[in-house]
């Protein structure tokens, strides 16, 4: 997975779209988000088969300090979840960004409108850090 092919949301998810006729979107947390999260205690992944809207809260990442919602950047059906992460909560924030994928959605119409490329997202994070 080439990071340059990823698209990013304002809320720090990344999404990677497959080349299939009906593309599958893999959704994860950006390196910026992972750096901000520490002391994770729980991950509430969506159920496979659940249909989500674009922008819908699909997943919760819980740390000692706070709970963060993860929004699906695309609409469609959840086809796969990364349950292996549940055994890696303590080290999850140290993993490379592309290993921290949370769920996959078979995209039902709509594309990746309004998402940022790596360059624009980098600028966005730099602004937020100030």
Partner 1 sequence: MSSANSPTARTTPLTDWHAAHGGRMVDFSGWRMPVQYTSIRDEHQATRTAIGLFDISHMGRLAVTGPDAAAFVDRLVTRRVTDLAPGRIRYGLVCNEAGGVLDDVLVYGAPQPAGVWGDHAALGVVVNAGNRDKLVAWFNDQRHGFDVQVDDRTLATAMIAVQGPHAIALIDALSDGAASKLKNYCGAAAQFDGHAVYLSRTGYTGEDGVEILCPADAALAIWVRLVADAAPHGGVPVGLGARDTLRLEAAMPLYGHELDQHINPFEAGLGFGVTLAPERELVGKEALDAAKANPARIRIGLTLEGRRVAREGTPVLSDGQRVGVVTSGTFSPTLQCPIALALIDPAAAGGTLSLDLRGTALPAQAAALPFYRRSD
Binding site for partner 1 (CB under 8 A): 11-12, 33, 36-39, 41-42, 44, 60, 62-68, 128, 130
**Tokens 């940022």 map to which residue?**
116
Q: Which among 4, 25, 23, 24 is positioned nearest to 15, based on CA atoms?
A: 25
DSSP bridge partners of 51 = 77
Residue closer to partner 1 by CB (options 7, 106) is 7
- Residue 22 CB, shortest distance to partner 1, in Å, is 30
C-beta of residue 67 within 8 angstroms of C-beta of residue 37: no
Residue closer to partner 1 by CB (options 24, 37) is 37
- Residue 15 CB, shortest distance to partner 1, in Å, is 17
Residue closer to partner 1 by CB (options 35, 98) is 35
Residue closer to partner 1 by CB (options 7, 12) is 12
CA gap 14, 45 in Å, rounded: 16
- Residue 38 CB, shortest distance to partner 1, in Å, is 5
- Residue 52 CB, shortest distance to partner 1, in Å, is 15
Going across the sheet that includes 67-71, the strands are: 40-44, 57-63, 67-71
Q: State the chain's maximal CA–CA distance in angstroms.
A: 42
């Amino acid at each position: 997975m080439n990071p340059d092919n990823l698209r990013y949301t304002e809320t720090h998810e990344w999404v990677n779209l497959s080349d299939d006729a009906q593309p599958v979107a893999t959704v994860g947390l950006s390196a910026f988000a992972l750096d901000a999260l520490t002391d994770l205690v729980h991950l509430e992944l969506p159920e496979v088969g659940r249909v989500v809207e674009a922008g819908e809260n699909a997943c919760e990442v819980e740390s000692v300090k706070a709970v963060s919602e993860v929004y699906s950047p695309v609409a469609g059906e959840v086809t796969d979840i990364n349950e292996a992460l549940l055994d890696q909560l303590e080290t999850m924030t140290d993993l490379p960004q592309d290993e921290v994928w949370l769920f996959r959605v078979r995209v039902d119409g709509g594309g990746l409108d309004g998402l940022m490329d790596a360059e624009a997202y980098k600028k966005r994070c730099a602004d937020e850090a100030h």
